Amino acid sequence: MKSLTLLEVGKSVVYSESEEPIQKSGHSIVELHASALNHRDIWITKGLYPGIITPIILGSDGVGNLAGKNVIINPGLNWGQNEAAQSNDFEVLGLPQNGTFANKICIEDKYIYSMPDHLSILEAAALPLAGVTAYRVLFSRCKVKSSDRVLITGTGGGVALMAVQLALAFGCEVHVTSGSDLKIEKTLELGVHKGYNYKKEDWYKDVQGQFDVIIDSAGGQSFQHLIKICAPGARIGFYGASLGKYTNLNPQLMFWRQISLLGSTMGSDADFQDMLSFVSTHKIRPIIDEVFDLKDGAKAFAKMEAGEQFGKIVLQH
Amino acid sequence: MKSLTLLEVGKSVVYSESEEPIQKSGHSIVELHASALNHRDIWITKGLYPGIITPIILGSDGVGNLAGKNVIINPGLNWGQNEAAQSNDFEVLGLPQNGTFANKICIEDKYIYSMPDHLSILEAAALPLAGVTAYRVLFSRCKVKSSDRVLITGTGGGVALMAVQLALAFGCEVHVTSGSDLKIEKTLELGVHKGYNYKKEDWYKDVQGQFDVIIDSAGGQSFQHLIKICAPGARIGFYGASLGKYTNLNPQLMFWRQISLLGSTMGSDADFQDMLSFVSTHKIRPIIDEVFDLKDGAKAFAKMEAGEQFGKIVLQH
């Protein structure tokens, strides 16, 4: 079969011939028709992840066919019994286990779900990792209510954009930030209330009113300002920190307003199932930036790395 | 009547004659027999609080007599309907409304509760503010479970010590930190599992295993180390930050372990009622450091400021 394989850290993925997966007990072999990229895939090629082994077929998001039915794969393996946190055995599909950038995958049956009916195969491929991450941080961790005012930072990224779509479908008033006016404009078309360009110094001073929920994956120096635009009882959920550590956080503001900072990553099996149900009920369609052929995977990686995408970069197998 | 009154910011409180409170509709006049000091009282005398007016009778904790019955006062006024956070009208008894360091107080009936039977009047006076603050941060915010391993920093302070007592009564394995070996020794006598002197550099490296719940009121530079001794799914509750802002917090550690940072202060009417019930059920007796006569209030303030107390400083009226 064909696959996108990382042969060596620091190099590009290579479209090449791989051995077919071997059928294991309690597993099925899914014929994959589409997959999608996540930042994690890029970081692995650069060696910015613990426990990298090579050669490895990358890819966490996959959609395909099993016994004539369209199926979608939950990429969060071995979460365990505790809804509050993943077990030590937790893995994300695509490292160390071979991933979805291939024609076939052997995957444990409990991670195989029916694909939501209203989606195309390409749309569904854009859903798993971003969908479960956005769902968990918004619903399981921040316990968002439909009456909440929600701010989502860094719109355009896969998880952030999915969080925008989930919160809008739930009935929230949604605001976003981005470093790109174009991305803000595109997000406003989805029904977002207002956008703020974070490249403008003190952008947060333009916020009128306060937020009940803020979803962030940037962190860094400017994270401290998010506290200042929180309503009493606000929850700040975060699933990444591309700008690094939090500094200069004001605890007085936080405890007086009963603010919660809630770390979150991926999601449990229940989160994944609940996310699929929510997406089906609300007929949410993940936003696709561009579709590449699997054989052009290296180009897809280059686009992801450039960071100019709006929505998911999808691979057609 | 007699009272401890702050006549001018920056000066000591003065034991003096004050006018009797005037009866208002929906209120009762409670004859106060005991009260207790909180850090808030000290900070007000130093001008470290917003909205200070003088002259003001200080004091948030009060126990006394109403129509022949022992009663205890909830010092959290106008919390409002939202359990998640107090309303903008929230006040703590003792500023701007005259407080409990007096022979009598006029207080709205809904803030007057029966005093727990198992307590002496002096013990009960040590309970309200510390009790409701400790109860909310542990139970309402951190949702502590009896199987949790709990770390409480800065043992010896009124809230911290009350949190130790609540967590022990609930069945938790409780660890503490202090800057004083003597305070650690005294806390161990309560049934605490282990103590760490935070004056030892890298004390947190001596911790074996991880904590499910951490309760802190120090904050500052060293707060970052608390993250490192958190179990997956851990909750860090904080109700103060005497050492200032949080710096250098590692978001990766926090989101990968699904850690929650939960700001908390005082408590709702429900928190106060639940705290009284818990204390009654478990026959918890607040720890008293020393009892002063109301007329010696200035001495009590000086002891509180020196910070050498273990438990509450109580005033007998």
A48-83 per-position pLDDT tens digit: 988 899 999 999 999 999 999 999 999 999 999 999
Residue A263: which of B85, B247, B257 has the nearest Cβ?
Answer: B257
- In degrees, rounded to 5, the angle at the alpha carbon of residue B230 between the alpha carbons of residues B225 and B233 is 140
* Cα–Cα separations (whole angstroms), residue A158 to A64, A125, B66, B191, B202: 21, 12, 62, 50, 39
- Give the chain A residue nearest B250 (alpha carbons): A245
Question: How high is the mean pLDDT of chain A?
Answer: 97
Q: Residue B232: what pLDDT?
A: 98
Please answer yes or no on whether B246 and A251 come within 8 Å at the CB atom.
yes
- Give the chain A residue nearest B227 (alpha carbons): A263
In chain A, which residues have their Cβ closer than 8 Å to the Cβ of B85? 231-233, 257-258
**Which structure tokens are listed for A266?**
């991926």
Mean pLDDT is lowest, of A72-86, A109-123, B43-57, B125-139, for B43-57
Contacts of B175 (CB under 8 A, 6+ apart): B149, B150, B151, B152, B192, B193, B194, B195, B196, B207, B211
Q: For B114-147, write each residue's pLDDT tens digit.
A: 999 999 999 999 999 999 999 999 999 999 999 9
Please answer yes or no on whether B261 and A264 come within 8 Å at the CB atom.
no
**Which structure tokens are listed for B25?**
């509709």
Other beta carbons within 10 angstroms of residue A269's beta carbon come to 19
Cα torsion for A151, A156, A159, A163, to the nearest 10°? Answer: 40
Q: Residue A314: what pLDDT?
A: 98
Q: Do domains A2-127+286-316 and A134-263 have the same CATH topology?
A: no
Strands A2-6 and A14-17: antiparallel
User: Is 3.40.50.720 the CATH number for B132-263?
Assistant: yes
Please answer yes or no on whether A264 and B249 come within 8 Å at the CB atom.
no
Please answer yes or no on whether B258 and A252 come within 8 Å at the CB atom.
no
Residue B265: which of A246, A255, A265 has the nearest Cβ?
Answer: A255
Q: For A19-56, write each residue's pLDDT tens digit.
A: 999 999 999 999 999 999 999 999 999 999 888 999 99
- Give the chain B residue nearest A227 (alpha carbons): B263
Q: Residue A278: what pLDDT?
A: 98
Residue B18 has pLDDT above 90, yes or no: yes
Beta strand extents in chain A (DSSP E only): 2-6, 14-17, 27-36, 56-57, 61-66, 69-73, 76-77, 91-92, 104-108, 112-114, 149-152, 173-178, 194-197, 211-216, 230-238, 260-263, 288-293, 312-316
The 3-state DSSP class for residue B5 equals strand
In chain A, which residues have their Cβ closer than 8 Å to the Cβ of B240? 251, 255
| Contact present, A27 and A108 (Cβ < 8 Å) | yes
The neighbouring-strand residues paired with A213 are A150, A235
CA distance A144 to A170: 9
> pTM score, two decimals?
0.96
Q: Measured between CA atoms, how close is B216 to chain A, in angstroms? A: 11
Q: Residue B307: what pLDDT?
A: 85
User: What would the mean pLDDT of A136-165 be, rounded to a whole number?
Assistant: 97
CA distance B307 to B310: 9
Residue A281 has pLDDT above 90, yes or no: yes
The class level of CATH for A134-263 reads alpha beta
- In degrees, rounded to 5, the angle at the alpha carbon of residue B268 between the alpha carbons of residues A251 and B107 is 115
Cα torsion for A229, A235, A239, A240, to the nearest 10°? Answer: 30
User: What would the mean pLDDT of A191-216 be, rounded to a whole number?
Assistant: 96
Please answer yes or no on whether B252 and A241 come within 8 Å at the CB atom.
yes
Give the CB-side neighbour count of residue B263, counting CA atoms within 13 A.
27
Q: Residue B129: what pLDDT?
A: 98
Q: Which of A153, A210, A261 to mutate to test the interface with B (most CBs of B within 10 A)?
A: A261
- In degrees, rounded to 5, the angle at the alpha carbon of residue B291 between the alpha carbons of residues B290 and B296 is 115
| Contact present, A58 and A15 (Cβ < 8 Å) | no
Other beta carbons within 10 angstroms of residue A209's beta carbon come to 10
Q: Residue A265: what pLDDT?
A: 97
The 3-state DSSP class for residue B15 equals strand
CA distance A230 to B86: 14
Closest CA to A297 of A4, A35, A64, A43: A4
In chain A, which residues have their Cβ closer than 8 Å to the Cβ of B250? 245
Domain boundaries, chain A: 2-127+286-316, 134-263
Please answer yes or no on whether A263 and B254 come within 8 Å at the CB atom.
yes
User: What would the mean pLDDT of B31-49 be, rounded to a whole number?
Assistant: 95
Question: How high is the mean pLDDT of chain B?
Answer: 97
User: What would the mean pLDDT of B155-172 be, rounded to a whole number?
Assistant: 96
| Contact present, B78 and B90 (Cβ < 8 Å) | yes
Residue A85: which of B85, B232, B244 has the nearest Cβ?
Answer: B232
Residue B238: which of A248, A255, A262 has the nearest Cβ?
Answer: A255
| Contact present, A303 and A313 (Cβ < 8 Å) | yes
Across the A:B interface, residue pairs with CB atoms under 8 Å apart total 109
Q: Residue A74: what pLDDT?
A: 98
Please answer yes or no on whether B240 and A219 come within 8 Å at the CB atom.
no
Please answer yes or no on whether A263 and B241 come within 8 Å at the CB atom.
no
Q: Residue B51: what pLDDT?
A: 87
* Residue A131, phi then psi, degrees to nearest 5: -65, -50
Please answer yes or no on whether B249 and A252 come within 8 Å at the CB atom.
no
Residue B245: which of A219, A249, A263 has the nearest Cβ?
Answer: A249
Q: At what angle do helices B158-170 and B128-135 cross, to 10 degrees?
A: 50
| DSSP 8-state secondary structure symbol assigned to residue B310 | S
Contacts of B106 (CB under 8 A, 6+ apart): B21, B22, B23, B24, B27, B28, B29
Please answer yes or no on whether A82 and B239 come within 8 Å at the CB atom.
no
Q: For B238-251, write each residue's pLDDT tens digit.
A: 999 999 999 999 99
Please answer yes or no on whether B233 and A257 come within 8 Å at the CB atom.
no
ipTM value, please give it: 0.96
CA distance B165 to B155: 11
* CA torsion through residues A152, A157, A163, A165, sign: positive
CA distance B299 to B307: 13
User: CATH code for B2-127+286-316?
Assistant: 3.90.180.10
In chain B, which residues have their Cβ closer than 8 Å to the Cβ of A239? 255
Contacts of A268 (CB under 8 A, 6+ apart): A76, A79, A83, A86, A136, A140
Residue type at B106 in one-letter notation: C
In chain B, which residues have their Cβ closer than 8 Å to the Cβ of A256? 263, 265
DSSP A203-261: GGGG--S-EEEEEES--STTHHHHHHTEEEEEEEEES--TT--B-SB-HHHHHHTT-EE
- Find tokens 């009940």 and name the residue: A212
